[in-house]
Amino acid sequence: MRVLITGGAGFIGSHLSDAYLARGDEVFVLDDLSTGSIDNIHHLKGNPRFHYTIESVHHRAAVAELVDQCDVVFHLAAAVGVKLIVESPVRTIETNVHGTEVVLAQANKKKKKVLIASTSEVYGLSNQVPFREDGNLVMGATTKGRWSYACSKAIDEFLALAYWREKKLPTVVVRLFNTVGPRQTGQYGMVIPTFVKQALTGRPITVYGDGTQSRCFAYVGDVVRALIALMDHEGAVGQVFNIGSTEEVTMRALAGRVKALTGSRSEIVFVPYAEAYEEGFEDMPRRVPDVSKISALVGFCPSVPLDDILTRVIAYFRGDVLPSD
Ligand code: UDP
């Protein structure tokens, strides 16, 4: 199979590239290196079944040419990280909405199956935890920059589902919950790489708010297996799936675990949201997926518990050699 991965030099995209190449498939990556990095795909450069194009998903001709050459498309290119989203809302909205329009329109011309990466962020302020795919999405006010990400991704979902209903383009939508593993940088605000780097360098571990907010962290290898299983399954077409772990942890407890596992002397400090992001910032108090839909279809079951994920991320930042996924 020939697989196009937009955002393939990103954290999840590069692991997806690894997995397809390991299966014997051919991988084409399109990435503008805005948040992705050439370092993530450096190890793949000598592989004759690996190809990459440094270009934006907004470039219609580049997307068209790559879609032509491939059998299926993973659209992962997007603005990522709450920090980046709050700081660059124009870029977030344009990248997420326009990029997806281009990819779907080009894929539709050749009727190539497309998997669109959406986000758990679309559940917004919903308190129907755990979140089910058919639950309500509850957005905050448009004056709060954070919600532009959720809204732009919700538009992507509507568009992908509309292409299936109206034009019979096979599309699959996934809502990725917090995903972690080697190659994820703390640069765009993600909490685990941030805490691990702080702990390893003896700097204060910065818990935002009062630290009672919780998340569930899935290992990137588990997430990649789920993406491939959904792409392979005919029954996934026209559907939305949560992908994530159900092991819930508060940020306060997470900071403590990172400190213990690194043996760090870092102090754990609490930083007000207004200072960490912007005045009036609204966080999601809990974010837990209901994964019964994907489990029923493809037997998805996260295999790496949080302590093991943390151990692998710590090893990565220490520069240790990691066991393969
Ligand atoms: N967070 C934190 N300290 C940090 C970075 C993030 O306490 O240095 C918190 C953040 O406010 C959120 C959670 O960790 O409640 C997860 O943040 P992340 O940006 O990783 O993902 P999100 O779930 O917000 O998309």
List Cα–Cα distances, 203 to 190, 200, 253, 274, in angstroms: 16, 8, 18, 21
Q: Could you report the per-residue pLDDT of 103-128, keeping only the tens digit for each?
A: 999 999 999 999 999 999 999 999 99
pLDDT of residue 131: 98
Q: Closest Cα to residue 190, out of 210, 174, 206?
A: 206
Q: Is 124 in the pocket of ligand 1 (CB under 6 A)?
A: no
Q: Any catalytic annotation for residue 149?
A: yes
Q: Is 34 in the pocket of ligand 1 (CB under 6 A)?
A: no
pLDDT of residue 280: 86
Nearest residue (by CA) to ligand 1, atom 24, is: 82
pLDDT of residue 88: 86
pLDDT of residue 188: 81
Q: In this structure, which amino acid lies at residue 173?
A: V
**Cβ-Cβ contacts under 8 Å for 228 (sequence gap 6 or more):** 16, 19, 20, 23
Q: Is 208 in the pocket of ligand 1 (CB under 6 A)?
A: yes
Give the integer Cα–Cα distance in Å for 45 and 52.
8
Q: Which of 129, 251, 283 to mutate to test the pocket of ligand 1 (most atoms within 8 A of CB)?
A: 251
Q: Which atom of ligand 1 is nearest to the CA of 208?
A: 7
Q: What would the DSSP string read from start to end of 154-214? A: HHHHHHHHHHHHHH---EEEEEE--EE-TT--STT--HHHHHHHHHHHTPPEEEETTS--E
**What letter does residue 37 receive in the DSSP assignment?**
-
pLDDT of residue 322: 52
**Mean pLDDT across 270-286:** 91
Q: pTM for the whole thing? A: 0.96
pLDDT of residue 320: 63
Q: Could you report the per-residue pLDDT of 51-98, keeping only the tens digit for each?
A: 999 999 999 999 999 999 999 999 999 988 777 888 888 988 999 999
pLDDT of residue 229: 98
Q: Closest Cα to residue 184, out of 14, 45, 29, 32?
A: 14
191 C-alpha to ligand 1 centroid (Å): 5
Please provide the average confidence, as pLDDT, over all residues in the chain.
Answer: 95
Residue 6 has pLDDT above 50, yes or no: yes
Name the fold adopted by 2-180+218-245+286-302.
Rossmann fold (3.40.50)
Catalytic residue among 20, 52, 149, 208: 149
